[in-house]
Amino acid sequence: MALSRGLRCCQRVFSWIPVLIITSVVLWSYYAYVFELCLFTLTNTLEKVAYLLAFHICFVMFSWTYWKSIFTPPASPCKKFQLSYSDKQRYEMEERPDAQKQILVEIAKKLPIFTRAQSGAIRFCDRCQVLKPDRCHHCSVCETCVLKMDHHCPWVNNCVGFSNYKFFLLFLSYSMLYCVFIAATVFQYFLKFWVGDLPNGPAKFHVLFLMFVALMFFVSLMFLFGYHCWLVAKNRSTLEAFSAPVFVSGPDRNGFNVGIRRNLLQVFGENRRLWFIPVFTSEGNGHYFALKNRSSESHNPLLANEDMWEESDDGSEEGSLVEDHDPSVTIEMEEE
């Protein structure tokens, strides 16, 4: 037990290494740009002020989005998807597998769950003792089920999912802007140092490496950002892009694709003035998502208005939510 705790503690410490690497590079870039380039190399005062003002705007937005991506905790399923104390007791005391499955089927009837496991069974996490909402997956690193999980990113040491996916996209976009701005403004001085028009000194080393590092990060970020833009347009997560979500009718990669406009609104919200600000504006609560084929929702009029089954402030359930699921559907004990 002590060894296991020690290994887990070491794992948590080492998981911060990628974040520390990014932070170190960014802090160095700040010193190199502000001090070595703007203060020690530039001679035009107006150019200094313009460069410093624009740089700090990019730097603040980059730092803000990176902070939000790292420290926004991943959202987990609410209490309605967890086994209550009585249901858990009844489930654990029941020795027959078929009877255990039936207990979980009864619980699932009250929830808006449309996706299934590969076998066609309703998805259940044995570790968290929770029925998985649509697009929810268990993260073995965070040791919890994450709503609309996209992936676990080591560079932010956090799960990217419903609660911080917008922040992650903004982090990628402002990272690219940061790199482009540095490369564009450093380029002429990079050439001057390269051909010897400016005297050798500490600034030469910093300016040359600023150019190379900015271009290197920009190229890698460009592909990653482009991929996630494609995912947003298709309304898919990274996990769904590799393994199509399974519905009652079978696997469908476009099951949640409701059109580019609505797909964008699900991530960024209705208020377009807040799209580029790292504040949470995503639609819904992460437990329910509109489907491309809405005929499956019509079987249960309660699901036409997801607010009818949301939790109240005190965590109590509001109203009776009975869905006509097929009683023949089984529960699969799966761990992802």
Task: Give the tens place of pLDDT for each residue, 31-71.
Answer: 999 999 999 889 899 999 999 999 999 999 999 999 999 99
86 plus 55 within the same structural domain: no
Q: What residues act catalytically?
A: 153
118 plus 247 within the same structural domain: no
Model confidence at 314: pLDDT above 70: no
Mean pLDDT computed over 227-239: 96
DSSP per-residue codes, 144-182: EEETT--EEETTTTEEESTTTHHHHHHHHHHHHHHHHHH
64 plus 83 within the same structural domain: no
In this predicted structure, what is the pLDDT of residue 107? 80
Structural domain boundaries enclosing 170: 1-73+157-300
Q: For residue 305, tell me if it sits in a domain.
A: no
Mean residue pLDDT across the chain: 85
Q: How far apart are CA 135 and CA 225, in angstroms?
A: 21
Q: How far apart are CA 129 and CA 115, in angstroms?
A: 18
Percent of the chain with pLDDT over 90: 59
128 plus 169 within the same structural domain: no
Among the residue ranges 165-179, 226-240, 286-300, the one predicted with the least confidence is 286-300
In this predicted structure, what is the pLDDT of residue 104? 73
Write down which residue in 96, 115, 132 finishes a domain: 132
Domains of the chain: total: 2
Q: How far apart are CA 55 and CA 62, in angstroms?
A: 10
Q: For residue 146, tell me if it sits in a domain.
A: no
Q: Please check whether residue 62 is in contact with residue 148, taking contact to mean a CB–CB distance below 8 angstroms.
A: no
Q: How far apart are CA 323 and CA 326, in angstroms?
A: 9
200 plus 116 within the same structural domain: no
Q: Specify the amino acid at residue 129.
A: Q
Q: For residue 324, tell me if it sits in a domain.
A: no
Q: Tell me the pLDDT tens digit for each residue of 68-118.
A: 999 999 999 998 898 888 878 887 887 787 777 777 778 878 889 888 888
180 plus 243 within the same structural domain: yes
Q: For residue 27, tell me if it sits in a domain.
A: yes
Q: For residue 152, tell me if it sits in a domain.
A: no
Model confidence at 300: pLDDT above 80: no
- The predicted model scores a pTM of 0.85
45 plus 120 within the same structural domain: no
96 plus 192 within the same structural domain: no
pLDDT interval class at 294 (50, 70, 90): low
96 plus 169 within the same structural domain: no
8 plus 62 within the same structural domain: yes
127 plus 274 within the same structural domain: no
18 plus 126 within the same structural domain: no
